[in-house]
Amino acid sequence: MDERPSILELVGVTKQFGGLTAVDHIDLKVREGEFFTIVGPSGSGKTTLLRMLAGMETPTTGDILLRDRVVNELPANRRPTCMVFQSLALFPHKSVGENIEFPLKMRGVARDKRKARALELLDLLRLPQSYYARNVTQCSGGERQRVALARAFAFDPEILFFDEPLSAIDYKLRKTLEKELKDIHKESGKTFMYITHSLEEAMVMSDRIGVMRAGRLVQVGTPEEIYTQPRDRFVSEFMGEVNVIEVRKGANGHAVGVELPGDFVLPGGAVPFETAHLVVRPESLRFLAGEGEAENHLRGTVYNEYALGSRIQYQVRVGEKVFIVERLRQQAYQGGLDQEVLIGWDAKDSVLVTD
Amino acid sequence: MGEAALPRDDSATPPQAAARRRLGLRAGPLYSLPMLTLLAVGFLAPLIAVIGFSFSEPRSFDWLAEPTLENYRTIFDPSNTVYLSFLWSLWFAFLSVLILAVICYPVAYGLAKVFGRWSMVITLLLVFPLFISENVRLYGWVLFFIKAGVLDGTLRALFDAGIGDFLFTPEAIVFGLVYVYVPFMLFPMTLGLSMVPNEVVEAAGDLGASRLQVFREIELPLAIPGIIIGSLLTFVLAVGAIAESKVLGGQSVIVITHDIEIAFTYSQNWPLGAALAVLLMLVIGVLVMTVLRYLDLDRILGRR
Amino acid sequence: MAATAGASRNKRLIWLWTGIMVVFLYLPVACGLLASLNQGRYFTFPIRRWSTRWWERTLDSIEISILIQTSITIALIVTAISVVLAFCGALAFARYNWRGRTLFQRLVLLPIFFPQTVLGLALLLWFNMLGLPLSWQTAVFAHLVWIVPIVTLVISIQVYSFDPALEEAALDLGASRWQVMTEVTLPVLWPGIFSGALFAFLLSWGNFPLSLYTTGADSTVPEYLYAKMVAGYTPGVPTLGTISTAGAALVLLGGYAIVVLARRARSGR
C-alpha cells in the first residue's frame, strides 16, 4: 500500500513505574509524512508512550529509533521532535509573537529573522498578523490552539506530537479544528503523531490509527480497517455504540445466539470458533416489513426514540436485551413507541469477533 | 466568586437568590469589621501616637503639647551620625536579601518540584525554627562561634588551631539576619515556583531550550511575584531587626532600631525615638506600598 | 523533567543542599542542648564534665514555672481570640468580593511587613497615653496586632480553594445561614483554621520583641532568656531555651498528628 520509508520505529518499547507496566512491548513503524493517531481510553498508556517518544521519559526496555538512530536517552531539547501539550503549555508571560519565536530565540536566531518567520507562521495558521504583540492570555481557545501549533512549527521538527490538544475545546470548534489540522498536515508535509481518547476524532484526521489498551497496541490499521474489521470486541465497542450478540457455533456455518433465540448467518471469511461475538452497528440494523428483507432478523418492541438531527435512533427491546437501531430521517418507517417491530441486517454488514 | 457578582437582569432568578446575592455583598464588609477594629485600635492609633510624639517637645512626655520640628532638626543636623545607623541597616538588609535569594532558590525549587510527598515533612522541618524565639536560636550561634565554643573547640581538638574572631562583627550580624529570615524568603519563593506549570517547563525544553535558558526565560519570570514578596518581606524585616545586632553583633555597629530603642529607653527621649521611628516607617511604607501595588495577591495566594 | 542523568544529578544536589539547610537551621538548637548539659558555669567545648544539674535546677525553679505559666496563658488567649478574628478576616480577605477588598488585603499585610520592635515601642507609647498599666494582658493585645494578620493569611489560603458553590448549594437545599456555616463552611475550612491556631499559639509562645515592651512587670520565657543572656549567663539559659524549643516541637508534632489521624479517620470510614 504505502511504501514510504519509516521515520520512527519502536521495538519492544516498555515503560514501568514501580511495579506498574504503563506501556507494554510496543512495536510500531510510523512512515514519513504520515498522520498517525493512537487511540485509547484514559490509563491505556498512550500519554506515557508519547512522552517517551518526545524525550520526557526514557523506556525501561526496548528501543526508539528516529531515522534508524536509537534515541532512548536523548533529552527532549536535543530531539528533532516537538510536542503540542494537552494544556498547550503556552508561556503566559510572553506575547503571541514571543511564544512563536521561542524555539528560534533558543537557537540564537537574530531578532528580525525571528519576527519574519513568526509572521509567516501566523499567516500559515490563519491568524491575523496584528496578533503578534497580543498577550496569549487574551486569546480564545481556538486561537491559543493555533499559537501552540505555530510555535511547534517554528521549531521545524521532523515529527510533531500531539497530546489530546483538542480535548478541552467545545464540540463545534473541535470539529472545525480537526479538519484544519488535517489541512495543515497536508500543506506542511510533516509527520504528525496524535493521541486522543476519541476514535471519532482519530477517524476524521488520520492516515492510520493504532488502538491501545492496557499498555498494548491492540490493532493498527487505516480508519476504514478499524471501522469495518475490528480485531476484537474492545476495538469494536470503542468505536461507539454497537450491538453485540453473544453466539456459539451452530450447524452448517451458522451461529446460534446464547442469550437470544435464533440462528444467524455469519459474514464471509469468519474464523473457526466455539463462542464469539457478533457485532452489528446501529446504522446496519434496519426495520423490516417482512422476514425476507434481510438475512438475519429479530422481533422486539420499540422502547424509546432519540432524534439525532439527520438520523433517528431507536431502542428496541428483544427479550432482555436492548438493541440500538438507527435510520435516516427520510427513510420510511411504520413503527411507533411500544409497538412490536421486526429488525434485521445482512450478514456482510456484521463482524464476528473472538475476544 | 458567586454571591458577590453584580445583580444580573435575569427574570428567571427567584427572588430569594437575589436576596442572597445582596447578603453576600454585605457579608464582606461585615466580616472585615473585627479585623478593621483591631487594626484601628492596635496598629493605626499607635502609629498616630508615634507620629504625634515625633512633633512634641524633645524629652517631653506630653503628646503634642507644643508642636515642634525640633526632633527632625536634630536628626538632620549634619553633626548627627544617626544616618550611619540607617545606612548600616539598609546595607545589611540588602546583603541578606541577596544571600537569601541565592541559598533559598534550590530548596524552594525542591519543595515545589522535586520532593513530592516528602514536601510536607520537609516544610514542617523548615517552618519549625520560626516558632523558637530568635534570641534562643541566635544565642545558639554565640555558643557555636564563641572562643572555646563548639566550632573553636572542635577545631582545636582536631587541628590544634582555633578560629579568629567572627562574633561581634558586622559579618556576624548579616549571618544572623540570613539565618533568622530563611523561612520568610523560602516560603514565598516556593509559592512562586509552584505557580510555574510543569508542562510549560517541559514545553520549553522540548522546543530546544537548555536548562539555563529554561531558568532565565521561563522559571524566573513566572516565579518572580513570589520572589519579590520574599525579598520585600526579608528586606523590611531585616531593616527593622534588632536582636541579630545585639546578640551576634555586640556593639560593633549600631543599627537604626537599636538607636530607636536607646532613645525610648536609656535616654528617655520619646519624641526623638518617635521621629526616628517615623523615618524608618516612611522608608518601609514607601517600599512596601510601591511593590504591593504591582502584585496581584489573589493570584499568588491561589484564588482560582 | 527529562529523566536523564543530568536531571537526576541535579535532583541529588537539591536534596543535598536542602539537607545542609536543615542542619544550618538546627545547629544552634543543638549547641544550646550541648551547653545545657555542661556541668560548669561557663561553656567550653568539648565538654569535660557532663551533668543534668542545670536541668534539675531549672525544672525545680518556681520562678521559671511562673514564667512558663505566663507564656502559656498569653499564648492560649491569643490563640482563641485570633482564630475567631482571623476566620472572619479570611472570609473578607478571600471569600467575598466587595468594594474595598483590595485595600483591606493591603491593610492586613501591613503589620506583617512591619518591624516588631517599632510596633512594640509604638504600642508602649499608646498604652501609656491611654493610661493603661502594662501587664501580661496588654502583651496579649500586642501579640494579637501582629498574629491575627498572619493567621488570616494562613486561613485565607484554605478559603481560596473553597468552592463558593458549596455554600450556595446548601442554601438552595434549604439550610439556614447558621446551618451552612456549621454543616459546610466550617468543616471544609477546618484544616486551615487548625493550622492557623497552631501558628497563633507558637508565634505567641516564641515572641520576644512585642513582649519586651508591653508586659510591664510580668515576664515571658523569651524575655527572661534575653535578660539572662545579656547579664547573668548560666547553663540554665540554654536549658530553658531547649525546654521552650521542645515545648514548641511537641505542640507542632501533636498538631500534625491530629491532622494526620483526622484525615485517616475520615478516609477510613
Check if C8 contacts A (Cβ < 8 Å). no
Q: A85-115: b or e for each residue (b if 16 or more CB lie within 10 Å)?
A: bbbbbbbbbbbbbbbbbbbbbbeebeeeebb
- Quick check: is C33 in a domain? no
Query: Pairing mode, if any, of strands A20-31 and A6-17?
Result: antiparallel
pLDDT higher than 50, residue B8? no
Which domains are seen in chain A, by residue range? 6-231 (3.40.50.300), 241-353 (2.40.50.140)
Chains in contact with A, where contact requires at least 3 CB pairs less than 8 Å apart = B, C
Best probe of the B interface among A86, A106, A162, A193, by most B CBs < 10 A, is A106
- Quick check: is C54 in a domain? no
Percent of chain B surpassing pLDDT 90:
42
Check if C10 contacts A (Cβ < 8 Å). no
CA-based angle C195:C162:C146, to the nearest 5?
A: 40
Nearest alpha carbon to residue C120 among C99, C141, C102:
C141
| Closest C-chain CA to B274 | C122
Q: Which residues of B touch A159 (CB under 8 A)?
A: none
pLDDT computed for residue B173 by the predictor: 94
Please tell me which of the candidates B128, B241, B260 has its beta carbon nearest to residue C121: B260
pLDDT higher than 60, residue B12? no
pLDDT digits (tens, 9 = 90+) for A93-123: 889 999 999 999 988 999 999 999 999 999 9
pLDDT higher than 80, residue A285? yes
- Quick check: is C215 in a domain? yes
CA distances from A121 to A96, A148, A155 (A): 11, 11, 11
Put simply, the answer to whether A75 touches C4 (Cβ < 8 Å) is: yes
Check if A55 contacts C (Cβ < 8 Å). yes
Confidence of residue C144 (pLDDT cuts 50, 70, 90): very high
pLDDT higher than 90, residue B93? yes
- Quick check: is C257 in a domain? yes
| Closest A-chain CA to C5 | A73
Determine how many CB atoms are found less than 10 A away from the CB of residue B146: 21
Confidence of residue B302 (pLDDT cuts 50, 70, 90): low
The answer to whether the CB of A24 falls within 8 A of the CB of A183 is: no
- Burial degree of A65 (CB within 10 A; 0-12, 13-18, 19+): middle
pLDDT computed for residue B23 by the predictor: 52
Check if C3 contacts A (Cβ < 8 Å). yes
pLDDT computed for residue A270 by the predictor: 65
pLDDT computed for residue C151 by the predictor: 95
- Quick check: is C38 in a domain? no
Is pLDDT larger for residue B113 or for residue B12? B113
pTM of the model: 0.81
Confidence of residue B10 (pLDDT cuts 50, 70, 90): very low
Please tell me which of the candidates C3, C5, C6 has its beta carbon nearest to residue A57: C3
Put simply, the answer to whether A76 touches C3 (Cβ < 8 Å) is: no
Residue C211 sits in a domain of what CATH number? 1.10.3720.10
Domain B80-300 is in which class?
Answer: mainly alpha
Q: Which residues of B touch A79 (CB under 8 A)?
A: 206
Sheet holding A191-196, edge to edge: A81-84, A159-163, A191-196, A35-39, A208-213, A216-221
Q: Please state, in angstroms and rounded to a whole number, the distance separating the CA atoms of residues B89 and B177.
A: 11
Percent of chain C surpassing pLDDT 70:
97
Give residue C167's domain range.
67-268
pLDDT digits (tens, 9 = 90+) for B117-176: 898 889 989 989 988 988 899 999 999 998 888 888 888 888 887 777 788 899 999 999
Query: Pairing mode, if any, of strands A159-163 and A191-196?
Result: parallel
- Quick check: is C48 in a domain? no
Is pLDDT larger for residue C165 or for residue C105? C105
- Quick check: is C15 in a domain? no
Q: Sign of torsion, CA A212 A214 A215 A217?
A: negative
- Quick check: is C45 in a domain? no
> What ipTM did this prediction achieve?
0.87
The total number of structural domains in chain C stands at 1
Nearest alpha carbon to residue A47 among A206, A164, A129:
A164
Q: Please state, in angstroms and rounded to a whole number, the distance separating the CA atoms of residues A230 and A233.
A: 7
pLDDT digits (tens, 9 = 90+) for B13-72: 455 555 555 555 677 888 899 999 999 999 999 999 999 999 988 888 777 777 888 889
Amino acid (one-letter) located at A149 = L
Put simply, the answer to whether B203 touches A83 (Cβ < 8 Å) is: yes
